[in-house]
Structure 1
Amino acid sequence: MIEITSKANPLIKQTKKLLQKKYRQSSYLIEGWHLFEEAVRAKAEILRVFVVADQISQLIDYEGQLILVSPEILKDLSTSPTPQGIVAEIALPNMMPPSQFKGKYLVLEDVQDPGNLGTMIRTADASGFDAVFISEKSADIYNAKTLRSMQGSHFHLPIYRGNVLTYLNQMQSSGVTCLATTLSKKSVDYRSLSDLSNFALVFGNEGQGISQEMATQADLLVHINMPGQAESLNVAVAAGILMFSFI
């Protein structure tokens, strides 16, 4: 075990940079015991663990690299105002998208709020979806707010970032039905659908919804009937309703 006592230590300075997206080229940081335990259970590649002295007893069986730091240093590596005593550096996963598709997929086109993104991924995990595909313009899943919202769900199911229209084309070639959510007059009430097995459920940007290209490519446009006076639902709430309706 290594002990570091100064914020000026090169490793601390290097690690702190991972709080910024532009430096997350090969690894990212997680905070708190829950996410750390999820990483261990998922056998994620944990590069190093920073922990304060009064929490070290919880790591008695951990065999990876431990770095003992002061509460002040740990707070420097955290975005939380009240850190839980542990920060871990995790290697970014290197996953190739599948060549064949069969199952239930969540596709997110330009969802930009980290809280919404994390909640939708967590809901996909809870409702038994097989993978999540997010566009390049969607929020970063390794943003601290996204990580808190996901609560470790990114360890449970694969998440792919890229051109979602290309992904959907590949899914459709494998017989997956693309359902895109929109308030268009051409959309149908989701409650009219049944016997769904292989499908991709698409949600768009919080303000703009799905793109015209997405609406054109989709096999079916769907909406949630709203008997009240609100114009729309929060995208994460809408995603929760539909994902659990289609399982």
Structure 2
Amino acid sequence: MKRIESVKNEQVKNWKKLLTKKGRDKSGQFLLEGFHLIEEALKAKLKFEAILVTNEDKIESQWQIERKKFIIVTEQVLKELSEMDTPQGVVAIVQMPTWPEQIATTGQWLLIDRVQDPGNIGTMIRTAEAAGLTGIVLGEGSVDLYNGKVVRATQGALFHIPIIKGNILELIPKFKAAGIPVFGTALEKASSYTAVESQAQFALIVGNEGQGVEKSILAECDQNIYIPIFGQAESLNVAVASGILMYYLKAIRS
């Protein structure tokens, strides 16, 4: 089994570039850290370049992957590639999933406009997958999908639901043309979400933590909705609000 002991190794230097968006975009690869995420990626049949472990005991016998892809590395090498305070002793180099670039003309979609917090993006992806949505559009200005914190927050959900990067304003007419109602989220000039019936199909747009959904996008929506606040809080966290609205719109009510 191959071993790498120096942080100055050329492969290690190249893999370290995957800690940056530029490096990930250029290579089409990202780093995956931890046993659970690697298992989820294997379930989704993603392509692995290598799995780095600090010793052979870290290799899970049930992982259906060629043994030659495992590389023994020192803890120092693993720390160079880890973003965790307490690394689990395993990091994988994985090809990004490929999804159709064209938006589907059916289904239930979450569209994310300029959300910056990795934890929020990850939680929304995890919730959308759990709710059985058709897919997600990650709008321009949002944090990178393969940011390590985003990947960890999804708990592997990003491998199981189509996620398309696109311009939300340009996609709205396509949803409308397909007969899919488009709901924006706003605090002003909007209706309570309870005024809306559940939908067999929908496109739900949620926005930036501080600024909300871009006004030009809201102007193109079929209807803008909000979640009433009964306490003293000014607003709900965008990931929490998204979860409430996704499940509400999807729910089947007689």
Give TM-score scaled by structure 1 length: 0.95
Deviates most, 59-68 or 140-149 = 59-68
Task: Assess if the C-alpha contact under 8 Å between 1:114 and 1:143 holds in 2.
Answer: yes
Determine helix, strand or coil for the equivalent of 1:68: strand
Choose from 134, 151, 163 the match for 1:147.
151
Deviates most, 118-127 or 50-59 = 50-59
Unaligned runs of 5+ in 2: none
TM superposition shift of 1:9: 0.8
1:13-162 matches, cutoff 5 A: 13-24=13-24, 25=26, 26-59=28-61, 61-63=64-66, 65-98=69-102, 100-162=104-166
Aligned residues, how many?
A: 246
Determine helix, strand or coil for the equivalent of 2:219: helix
TM superposition shift of 1:239: 0.7
| Alignment-derived partner of residue 206 in structure 2 | 203
| Alignment-derived partner of residue 242 in structure 2 | 239
Deviations 1:16-60 (A, max 9, x none): 111111111211101000000000000011111111115344147
State the alpha-carbon separation in 2 of the partners of residues 17 and 42 from structure 1: 24
Equivalent residue letter for 2:140: E
Deviates most, 19-28 or 57-66 = 57-66
State the alpha-carbon separation in 2 of the partners of residues 91 and 54 from structure 1: 23
Choose from 186, 191, 198 the match for 1:182.
186
State the alpha-carbon separation in 2 of the partners of residues 199 and 12 from structure 1: 44
Choose from 231, 234, 247 the match for 1:228.
231
TM superposition shift of 1:96: 2.5
Equivalent residue letter for 2:118: P
Deviates most, 63-72 or 2-11 = 63-72
RMSD: 1.4
State the alpha-carbon separation in 2 of the partners of residues 77 and 133 from structure 1: 29
Task: Assess if the C-alpha contact under 8 Å between 1:75 and 1:81 holds in 2.
Answer: no
Deviations 1:82-106 (A, max 9, x none): 1111111111233333354111100
Deviates most, 45-54 or 79-88 = 45-54
State the alpha-carbon separation in 2 of the partners of residues 31 and 68 from structure 1: 15
Deviates most, 166-175 or 54-63 = 54-63
Determine helix, strand or coil for the equivalent of 2:144: coil
State the alpha-carbon separation in 2 of the partners of residues 37 and 92 from structure 1: 15
Identity %: 41
Change (3 A) 1:54 1:108: same
Change (3 A) 1:155 1:100: closer
1:164-183 matches, cutoff 5 A: 164-183=168-187
State the alpha-carbon separation in 1 of the partners of residues 103 and 191 from structure 2: 30
Unaligned runs of 5+ in 1: none
Equivalent residue letter for 1:37: E
Give TM-score scaled by structure 2 length: 0.93
TM superposition shift of 1:73: 1.1
